[in-house]
Amino acid sequence: MRRLITLLTLSILFNTATWAQHSYSIPAYTGYAVPAEIEEEGLFQEGKGLQNWTDLQQEIHYFFYLRKTGKLTLEVSVKNIQAGSLISVEIANKSFRVAIPQSNDFQKKYVGEVTIKDSGFYSIKIKGLKKSGKIIADLASIELNGSAAAGIHFNKKARRNAASVHLRYPISDTTRLIAFYNEITIPENADIVHSYYMSNGFSRGYFGIQVNSENERRVIFSVWDAGNEAVSRSKVADSNKVILLAKGDGVFAKDFGNEGTGGHSHWVYPWKAGITYKMLVTALTDSASETTTYTGYFFLPEQQKWKLIASFRAPKDGKPLRNLYSFNENFVGINGQIQRYAYFGNQWGQRENGTWIELTESRFSYDATGKAGDRIDFGGGMEGGMFYLWNGGFKPTNTHFADVFTRPAKYNKPTIDFTKNADSVKQASIDQQLIFSAIKQKRIDTMGNRSGVYYHIMKEGTGNAVSVTDTVTVFYKGYLLKDGTVFDQTKEKPATFPLNRLIKGWQLGLAQMKLGSKIQLIIPSGLAYTIRSRSQLIPPNSVLVFEIELVSLKSKVEN
């Protein structure tokens, strides 16, 4: 008899130890409200759990991954200062009713037991059936016990964002790129609020499309300052700050911080899921000043025109585009349980000599949330000739860190025509106001205009007028109307050009000249370089002033 009691005691102790080994507590602050809470409500608070849950139409969801099968029992640690609240708890297609105890302190309440037949992601859905007083219930934790709980994975941290995932496009160290082109498509129903789908990333910045709210979407282009300040731009030395050179009509530009610092720009635009958008970043380098001008352009499919977003000059750089990448980001965690998806295709880089190379390889990676193992629901790959990324949704991953994907070459290099400018009408009005203001201030003089080019003949010439097919030899000086910055000029020797290869403003303006004449031209941006970032000294949308002396000309027949 004594031997039987001893065996029973050992059996109880063994079962108790096994039970404890497979007992896990999921903090209540790691859940998700459906519909999502207002961010400021503080429904989920680290160390406090779920609080102020009042809406009977709002469910609370928890997610975890089970590696084992078998029995799984549930308990909840709950309270309400008033009696009478009732909730239902659903898991693995079984639903249990739980009466909330009246208490000032959290109490554990047994929910029920289910049998787990397959490994995978599971969810717990808690619904309010009856509310007593102001709240349905406060919840501190969910307790999971049993053999199926062995090796369970769940996010223990209060940060509920899905892990950010990236694609990096490798290029050789000797390849000097001045442009990075990419196309992005967000599938139907994957355009989730609090998502940033970044298409054209590079070492100093990023460019993509964002869902800010149910009513607002943005195109975002930002460039980081030099230095190591991570939070406050007020602490950044002026010599390290990027400078805004130009922005498109309706584009908002400001400083940013808290993720590094720099210059931010965004344009509110109702982009749509299911439509492919083309994006381009260009880089103009100046090794002497160690600066690079980065400019972001967005193609509007409904207008078939390019939109300038912004142009920034980055200090302590002087290098071409490098470290090219794309990513998916869930930047607010209140809906981090929802899956986000994006396709990226037809990537190209342009060399300094103007030739294009197709980028057909990408490498997968993820952020600190993924590296720490807090979230394991993410992936990427190649499908239908395009790379894709996904995160969230509590689906099994299909990738590993540093996996390499290759897509088939499309041989469809981009054709960029900046004369198709979405802001051309608005910009023409801005240019005209600038010119009229300069005339009023007597900074420039004019005798009139020809097809939009204002001119002043400073010295009359003789002979035949210049034809657009002529080759001209000239002395010239070019500067910006805005601030007088000289961007180019001849010195001891004149320069020779075929006129039909020059900007439209020169072609129109030189038609007023004869041999030996001297003229001043005021050229609106639409007849100059439009939204192109032409050089370090000529920002997009610049009104140009040229003083030109015609030394000689040769007609096409003479040539």
| 532-554 pLDDT per residue, tens | 988 888 999 999 999 999 999 88
Q: What is the mean pLDDT of residues 329-333?
A: 96
- Domain 424-554 of CATH type 3.40.50.1370: no
What does the alpha-carbon distance between residue 359 and residue 348 come to, in Å, rounded to a whole number? 5
Q: What is the mean pLDDT of residues 527-532?
A: 95
Answer yes or no: are the C-beta atoms of 307 and 221 closer than 8 Å.
no
Could you give the 3-state DSSP secondary structure of residue 22?
coil
Is the pLDDT at 124 greater than 90? The verdict is yes
Q: What is the mean pLDDT of residues 51-66?
A: 97
pLDDT of residue 134: 93
> Annotated active-site positions, please?
476, 487-488, 503, 529, 546
pLDDT of residue 12: 38
Q: How far is CA 325 from CA 37, 387, 486, in A?
A: 33, 12, 36
Structural domain boundaries in the chain = 23-149, 165-406, 424-554
Angle at 511 between CA 508 and CA 512, to 5 degrees: 110
pTM (predicted TM-score): 0.91
pLDDT of residue 557: 60
Is the pLDDT at 7 greater than 80? The verdict is no
Taken in order 53, 59, 62, 67, is the CA torsion positive or negative? positive
Answer yes or no: are the C-beta atoms of 38 and 2 closer than 8 Å.
no
Query: Could you read off the pLDDT of 387-431 as tens digits, one per residue?
Result: 999 999 999 999 999 999 999 999 999 999 999 999 999 999 999
Lowest average pLDDT, out of 103-112, 175-184, 271-280, 534-543, goes to: 534-543
Q: What is the mean pLDDT of residues 363-377?
A: 97
Query: Could you read off the pLDDT of 423-471 as tens digits, one per residue?
Result: 999 999 999 999 999 999 989 988 888 899 999 999 999 888 899 999 9
Is the pLDDT at 14 greater than 90? The verdict is no
Same fold, 23-149 and 424-554: no
Backbone angles phi, psi at 197, to 5 degrees: -100, 100
pLDDT of residue 48: 93
Q: What is the mean pLDDT of residues 303-314?
A: 97
The CATH number assigned to the domain with range 23-149 reads: 2.60.120.260
pLDDT of residue 11: 40
All residues at 6 or more sequence positions from 284 whose CB lies less than 8 Å from its CB, including other chains: 178, 292, 293, 295, 533, 534, 535, 536
pLDDT above 70: percentage of residues in the chain: 96
Is the pLDDT at 1 greater than 80? The verdict is no
Could you tell me which of 224, 410, 215, 229 has the C-alpha nearest to residue 323? 224
What does the alpha-carbon distance between residue 404 and residue 167 come to, in Å, rounded to a whole number? 9
Lowest average pLDDT, out of 122-131, 328-337, 461-470, 479-488, goes to: 461-470
- Domain 165-406 of CATH type 1.10.357: no
